[in-house]
Amino acid sequence: MNPMEFKNYPELFEKAIIEDSDAEKIKRPSIRYWPDVWRRLKQNKLAMTGLLVIVIMIIMAAIGPMINDFSYFEQNYNQINTRPNGEYWFGTDELGRDLFTRVWYGTRYSLFIGILATVIDVTNGILYGGIAGMAGSRIDSIMMRIAEVIYSLPYLLVVILLSVVFSTQGSGTSMFVIILALSLTSWIPMSILVRGQVLQLKEAEYSLAAESLGATRGRILKKHVIPNTLGPI
C-alpha cells in the first residue's frame, strides 16, 4: 500500500480502546502448585523412569505373590537352587522355595519399612533442625549437643537392646522395632542439614520482610524458611 493511501482509511487510525482493568486480567488459566509439579515432572525423563519403577514395584508387591502357583513357604526338595526356568521364574533357593513369589512378598515389607522410615526421618529432621536453627544461640547449641550424643551412641548396641526389650512380648523382631531402629539415628544428619539451611535462610531478605510485617518466628519458619530448604532435602 502506498503510504499516501492511508488517509483514505481513517478507521485505521482510530484510538484503540484499552481498559486499564484489562491489563490486570488473567487470561490464561493459572496453574496451581501440584499440577505444575506434575507437568514439570513429566518433562524429566529420569524422574519419570524412577516413578515408573516404583509404581511397577508397588503393583508387583500387591499381586506378584499371587501370579504363579507357589506360596512363599512351599518347599520342593527335588528342585533346590535351580536356575530361573519356565516353572520357577526366578529359580529356587536352598530349600526349594520359589524365589519369584518370595521376592515380591519381601518387597511388601521392604517398601513399607523403607517408606515409613524415610517419612519419620524427614519429619523428625525438619522439625528438630528447623526449631534448633530458628531458635538460635543457646537452644540451638543445646539441641545440637543432644543430637551429637544420640548420634555417637554405638548403633549396634542400641539395636540389640531394642530387640531384646521388645521381643519379650512377641516372637523375634517385629516390624515396629525394625522401623524404630532404622530411624533412631538416621534423622540426625538430616536435622544438621536442615539447621544449616535454616541458619542461612533466616537471615535472607524475605525472612526480614516477613519479620518486619509482624510474622512470628514460628510462622516465618513454617511459611518461608522450610519451603525453601526442601530442595536439598
Partner 1 sequence: MKKYLLKRFFMSIITLWAIVTITFFLMHSVPGNPFAKEGKMPPTVYQNLQRKYGLDKPKSEQYVIYLKNLLRGDFGDSMKSRVETVNDMIERGFPISAYLGVEALLIALVFGPVLGALAALFQNKVPDYISMIIAIIGISVPSFIMGTVFIQFIAKNVSWIPIGGWGEFRHTILPAIALSLMPLAYIARLMRSSMLEVLGQDYIKTAKSKGLSKSTVILKHAVRNAILPIVSVLGTLISNLLVGSFVIEKIFGIPGLGAFFVNSIVSRDYTLIMGTTIFYSIILIIMLLLVDISYVLIDPRIRLTKEGR
Q: Is the dihedral of CA 203, 206, 212, 217 positive or negative?
A: negative
What phi and psi, each to the nearest 5 degrees, are found at residue 71? -95, 170
**Which residue of 156, 171, 212, 214 would you call a contact of partner 1, by CB under 8 A?**
156
Q: Would you say how long the chain is, in residues? A: 233
Cell (9 digits) for 169: 512380648
Decide: is 160 part of the binding site for partner 1 (CB under 8 A).
yes
CB nearer to partner 1: give 88 or 128. Answer: 128
Decide: is 154 part of the binding site for partner 1 (CB under 8 A).
yes
Site for partner 1 in 6-45 (CB under 8 A): 43-45
- How many whole angstroms separate alpha carbon 180 and alpha carbon 183? 5
- The pattern of x and - marking residues 183 through 202 that bind partner 1 according to CB under 8 A reads -----xx--xx-xxx-xx--
CB nearer to partner 1: give 55 or 161. Answer: 161
Site for partner 1 in 79-138 (CB under 8 A): 136-138
Give least dist CB 207 to partner 1, A.
10
Mapped onto helix, strand or coil, the DSSP state of residue 98 is: strand
Chain centroid, CA 164 distance in Å? 31
Quote the DSSP letter at residue 106.
H
CB nearer to partner 1: give 97 or 221. Answer: 221
Amino acid of residue 60:
M
H or E element: which one contains 21? helix 20-24
List contacts with partner 1 (CB under 8 A).
43-46, 136-138, 140-141, 144-145, 148-149, 151-154, 156-158, 160-161, 164, 188-189, 192-193, 195-197, 199-200, 203-204, 228, 231-232
